[in-house]
Amino acid sequence: MVDDYFMALTGTEQQKLTVIQAFRTADSKRPITVYRSEQSVDYLDITVYKGTRFRSSGKVDTKLFTKPSNTELHLPYSSFHPRSTMIGIMEGQHRRSLIASSSIENHTATMLEKYQGYNTRGYPREHLNRILLQETTRKKAVFQWQRKQAMKPIQKERQKVIALKLPFTNRSVQIANKISVSKLQKQIEHSCPVLHRASMGRLVVAHKSTMNMLERTRPKGLIKGYAGGSGLP
């Protein structure tokens, strides 16, 4: 990553120190801080550690890492956000735990911890039970299958685009008549794929009867520009 790194070193202590020192002195303008452990290390949002299976297979385990400064102050359920936002937050936490947890035990422990946090913020228990404490916390086969699905690369499907609707003005009519939207869309996709996901796919000019509310409420006869040198429009 840009400012985080993870290394698993083997060999003698002197060999390990040689590698670590090489990293420390590689760039004097960007000094590197090294944290060492023989048992576990926190990297990004996971904890990598030597679990019970390490001695027999050499495989490490992982679990979700939460920073000590975390206060569990999730978006309160009493806010005026759409309920779909709350559901999406809980579903995101569940999926995040699935990916970060190498065992059903770690996943279940994380979900119980999140359950308490969301319950404190007023989230209904029926939603918490359905989303956080679902079968992935009770059945190992379900956990393994859903984790496998969650870790699959996202298929590159054509993203839906948001239409750009312009108010009815002389300028917008001229734009609609002259601009090549399909060509513009291809240029955006080529130059900035991220922007392309939420860029205009259609250029729509509102009908004259659907003018902006500002235009409808503007007092008739109002002179555009500045009046009396007051600086007010």
pTM of structure: 0.61
Question: How does residue 114 score in pLDDT terms, banded at 50, 70 and 90?
Answer: very high
Q: Are residues 76 and 114 in the same domain?
A: yes
- Over 90: is that where the pLDDT of 187 sits? no
Q: Is residue 233 part of a domain?
A: no
| Higher-pLDDT residue of 6, 172 | 6
Question: Mean pLDDT over all residues of the chain?
Answer: 77
Looking at the structure, tell me whether residues 211 and 120 fall in a common domain. Answer: no
Q: What is the rounded average pLDDT of the residues 202-211?
A: 50
How large a percentage of the chain has pLDDT more than 90?
A: 32
Contacts of 211-215 with C-beta under 8 Å, sequence gap 24+, read: 211/167, 211/168, 212/167, 215/167
Of 125, 152, 179, which marks where a domain is finished? 152
Q: Could you count the other beta carbons within 10 Å of the beta carbon of residue 220?
A: 4
* Residue 164, phi then psi, degrees to nearest 5: -100, 115
Domain that holds residue 187: 162-216
In this structure, are 142 and 175 located in the same domain? Answer: no
Q: pLDDT at position 233, please?
A: 39
Total count of domains within the chain: 3
Question: Of 41 and 200, which is predicted with more confidence?
Answer: 41
